[in-house]
A and B are shown apart, each in its own frame.
Chain A
């Protein structure tokens, strides 16, 4: 097989700080080439260069040579890369929110009516929407998801969006090289496997694939070759047969990691919150007539396939989406959902969409950590005659933020550093620090480890266990990472179509979970 992509001595730096140094890589037609690395190891920069992202030119271009299908290339923009047959599935979704699923998938490759083709030329021809939607529907069915192609992207959950984005690339016929930046990060295991089958099928059709993932098991399973990046350098390469998760993990972070695990224990069955026929109208993640009691002091895992409602529960409690039904918190009925009063009562939500909902990216670590405590619980306010204006007491704040920084091991240059400059893991720690500042009795956590590298992942999980044990905080973790839930949780509730389907013990086998997740009856559940 010939190399369709060859990278020789690639160097790239941002403002004098090297992001990539001396990268040599080649991808053959039909090869699935895995690239792994911790956050900040240069994966995204490499992809930006390959896909001609203008940010590379704006920051001074790169040194080195890239050949694509035998020709030397230096893409000025993404359109050029696309014309050459490169496709990319982004980590941050590159979909147009106000267009429908079908329109997004067929964007730039629309079917047109032949009559108007002849009259006005293809460029100004009428779009054959029916045909477009049919094609898009077919592609989506190949991926195994059922979503109405007429829905606007803005109304869909992150999980489904990821599939749409993948579908858009798969739908292309001129595709030669497909770059996938963490495509499975927001998918659960089953959906991930589905995707991997698709990738294998594409590789059989001689399409080169660059596959970036944090999930090393997948990389081991699917890739023909793996390159490991660390601090902008290529530290090792493995070919199929020699790919082992442990080696990859060690190369990625340079040392071994300890996996987080909570001890098993006996729980008192005293409910802290009870949902009765609770519904949340979060588009694409709807909760419908859910009944659930969460016990005081437990860690409850909440899992489901994408789109079955695990993420919506916390958002519903914070009045982000319309809700219906009854909720009893500490035996008192909540009359009206209101984020402010619910936070005061002792609830808090750590969102899954960190960039969009979790942080004030342009503000300092300090402002981020104290924000909710200060706004809702009037903490850190300077004592003076002007109490009602709420000026900040900087001594109190500094003390608290430094303590948080040390306790949670947040890596930053100072507490005044802007949060957008931190890595994903540290941003998540900032979110946790904010939650701890409010000191909730009940904490909703959604996808706590999404987009975080493996060593930081375990720290985050350990942190959640620690918060639960030391403060007796009840925690509800909504996650698609079954393996993580099994290590951390006391009970795991599986949701199907917006309802609690079964509650399993974390010791249940993967097979049982698999069956329950897909809504199969007849699995023996322990009485919990």
Chain B
């Protein structure tokens, strides 16, 4: 009762209002659509009539199993690749650390549908690999291990950045205490340093899992031939095959949400079992150790991962973008800059699409960054009742396929009785991106807040700071590295989001991804790839320039 009278901090109110607008509204309409099949026509007739059909699908259990398998395998392989790299990056002096960071950022900037097309064109029979060295890996690519491989290369950076940043915050101070008391270096790492970085690890693995079960492009492109059907491909078929089955798609999406929610509960359970506070206000020695004899193997490991995850896809994209014709192959006479000049000449509307997507990306990063920080604060640091609900709202969209978010947004914002609506303006794209991407900043910021001792905020309040001032001056700067990294990812993904954009884009508006997709649909692969290459360059360079202008230290990124 004392709490209630004290009043709720404004940051919590803003967080709650933002979450309702961005997440709860579209999600509510997806649930309503699942219950009322005629919702799209404004009728509430025949409730629950679609449930039996969708859940009674004999293929449902197999697809759910495949979805889970895919999620778990991608999480495991991502952790296997990213955690050792992150540990080396956080605790040791890795030569060229900043360069590796940039190179590991790029896989995240490569749209998944582009990456998978790049891999197909490289590994299929008579693909680039066979043209250069005489053999192909098609059997591997079009199989479940192939799908896991391609998806892992897209998602391991999430784990790498989260774990290396958390480990950096933990530093080696606590392990040193362990060493003083006689622990071996390995023991100190396994028993002290790694457990203290659990928030970052758990949060990022949860993100990867949710991303993997929600991803459409890769399983659709590679899984079809392997007979590997997942929930998302079934959902997409229901949404695009006439007669459109929106209720069925909504119901299958709720199955995905349940899966992701299970992973979320597991992660929360891990995080709340104990305290992970490592930032207590005491000065921290951030000196890193020398690698010694391990220098060469570690650098080789970084180089190998960077080459496979970043180098190969970029080269494949560049090769297609420079080819005049796909059938001409990799011969000098077939290479040229005609696709790039078509984009820069803007005979095709490419520059306008770039401008639209880049502004939407910046806006989405700012909105989700602010909302993410406030929501994470409300969940971790405030004692507001119902903060569990807020936490659930922040994870929901992670499991929602983009196309279902798009349908939910249309259902919600195209109601005839609304006096004003963002629908059919670019604002609806911003809402879609914010909804889909909000989990990123929230997860990163939550992990960061878990590491900050409560006494820091309390000290500020004792010295007369208002809750907002304490949040802005004390807490926000402390979580800034994690939050900025997440906002960067939001920017990157929002500028190339495809699945929701295709359906929800206002009339007459092209985004980068819908532009590329149209080129592919019409058989102009080279033009689409050239646009993708330009986009990857811009989305990688812009955040780096912005960060260096803001005077961040080199170790943020």
Does A associate with B in a complex?
Answer: no
